[in-house]
Amino acid sequence: MINRIHQSVAAREKSVDRYEAQTPSGEGSASPTGPLAVVFDSGAASAQEIGAAVQKIGPAVLVAAPSAAATAARPLLARAGHLVTLDNGFDHAVREMKAHNIAGIVTFSEDALPLTGALAAALEVPFHDAPTLTKLTEKYPQRMALADAGVSPVRCRRIGDASEWVEAVTAVGLPAVVKPMRGAASRNTFHITDEAQGAALVAQLLDGAEDSLVVEEYLVGQPNGRIGDYVSVECLVIDGVVDVLMISGKFPQLPPFRETGQFWPAHLSDVQADQVRSLAVTAVGAVGIRSGFAHVEVKLTRSGPRIIEVNGRLGGLQAELAQRAAGLDLVELGGRVAVGRPVTVKELELDRVYFQYYCPAPTCPSRLVRVRGLREVAKVPDITAYRAFVGVGTELAGGVATLNLGGVFGEAATPEAMMTAVDRALDLLVFEFETAHGVVGIPARDLGHAHELLSGHRDSGEENRD
């Protein structure tokens, strides 16, 4: 059996009546008698999850960001509360929200952080201030803030022109990581081992999608078999006080930095867990987060934990893990904190492993046409569900950003039992893709090198069982 691991998590109260409203601290705090505003875009909480959560809090204003994902979600958002769009401009949206006497604002989307910050400032309700938002959405200022605070300093340079590459890589050294100044899901993020390779990549990126890049030291993780060499830490911040909710273990990444899944709790020793918690709490303070969620990614190196990055929102799919493992609604919790409702924090003991293993999309363009083996996967011990993230018929653009087709969810008694269940599911699931060369079936286990299989025009899949 795994060690019984204690993590600090926010306790879910069964009755809304047990929460008493209190005024949030800080300048410009609004009365908590008004509604919560939630700014929606693609991110850590779906429109359905947000809708269910706000029903337990009270009246809500749902703001649809100007994006395709938020536009598609408008009907769901409108059912959850009063819908505000930016169709008539930012100022019009602010006036509409002011008429509702907004008590607090929150977002669960990385992309929506700047918009949420601007709305919060206009409405004079608490949220990340402008300097903090810069450190949360721009990677170089965040590295500088962490270094200035003495928190896990990493060699790092910013470049805006390809001519600056040689100076940057000389200062940082190889291997290195090249990433956009702004971005999420490891978009255009690359592991560089050769100076000439890096020069060509930097020139290509700066000539195309990016106007500024960050070159930083590559953190070498400590090998741990089938378990990833990094973890994430979910933190809740109230009036500047940081509590760790949970440390999530990770499965190994696919090149260059594509995530393949996570599980609660992380498989760490007590000493490692204490080091990770302490580092995450210090990092959250260093970037200036005063309220709300923080999602901190930490590399486990031979010399101890190192910060990968700090995010000013809830981590992706953490809400699903919390609900399944502990009956906790983290989306509701974030909303309550935003409007100044008190929440309690207590210890949770987990003696099972709750996991999500993701099936990555190919890095080359294709179209998903079918998923086979779903009925068989549903019968695998310790597998509780397969959840589709991408619908059949979806055109997949390719690229190195993290994009997953779906996930195998489950719970097991031990990490070893978890891996047994995952292995069985990966053997059973087959994804069919249409390319210019025809339809190709690829087992879930082989999706990490789907590019080669699709280019080779050969079906690596199994016979149709559905």
Tell me what the pLDDT averaged over the chain comes to.
90
> Could you tell me if 121 and 163 lie in one domain?
no
> Could you tell me if 322 and 256 lie in one domain?
yes
> Could you tell me if 342 and 225 lie in one domain?
yes
> Could you tell me if 255 and 377 lie in one domain?
no
The total of structural domains in the chain comes to 4
Beta bridge partners of 38: 62, 106
Least confident of 165-169, 338-342, 399-403: 399-403
> Could you tell me if 184 and 253 lie in one domain?
no
In a domain, 200, yes or no: yes
pLDDT score, position 112 = 98
Report the CATH number at residue 121: 3.40.50.20
Beta strand pairing status for 404-412 and 383-388?
Answer: antiparallel
Q: How far is CA 438 from the centre of its chain?
A: 34
428 lies in which domain range? Answer: 353-455
Beta strand pairing status for 230-238 and 176-180?
Answer: unpaired
> Could you tell me if 104 and 201 lie in one domain?
no
In a domain, 409, yes or no: yes
Query: pLDDT per residue over 282-330, tens digit each?
Result: 999 999 999 999 999 999 999 999 999 999 999 999 999 999 999 999 9
Q: Which are the contacts of 144, defined by CB distance < 8 A and separation ≥ 6?
A: 156
Reference 197, options 249, 256, 250; nearest CA is 256
Please identify, among 288, 322, 350, the residue that sits at the C-terminal boundary of a domain: 350
pLDDT score, position 456 = 61
> Could you tell me if 395 and 288 lie in one domain?
no
Q: 462 pLDDT band (50/70/90 cuts)?
A: very low
> Could you tell me if 201 and 223 lie in one domain?
no
In a domain, 20, yes or no: no
> Could you tell me if 346 and 380 lie in one domain?
no
Model confidence at 358: pLDDT above 80 = yes
Residue type, 173: G
Backbone angles phi, psi at 266, to 5 degrees: -65, 150
> Could you tell me if 108 and 229 lie in one domain?
no
Beta strand pairing status for 366-372 and 60-64?
Answer: unpaired
Report the CATH number at residue 171: 3.30.1490.20
Query: pLDDT per residue over 203-215, tens digit each?
Result: 999 998 899 999 9
Query: pLDDT per residue over 254-280, tens digit each?
Result: 998 999 999 999 999 999 999 999 999
Contact 5, 350 (CB under 8 A): yes
Residue 218 to residue 107: CA distance in whole angstroms: 30
Please identify, among 350, 366, 394, the residue that sits at the C-terminal boundary of a domain: 350
Please identify, among 328, 350, 372, the residue that sits at the C-terminal boundary of a domain: 350
Reference 172, options 152, 159, 160, 156; nearest CA is 156
Indicate left, alpha or beta for 245 from its phi (over 0: left) and psi (-120 to 50: alpha). Answer: alpha
> Could you tell me if 343 and 369 lie in one domain?
no
Report the CATH number at residue 251: 3.30.470.20
Beta strand pairing status for 213-217 and 383-388?
Answer: unpaired
Least confident of 41-50, 127-136, 432-441: 432-441
Model confidence at 347: pLDDT above 90 = no
> Could you tell me if 327 and 360 lie in one domain?
no
Report the CATH number at residue 447: 3.90.600
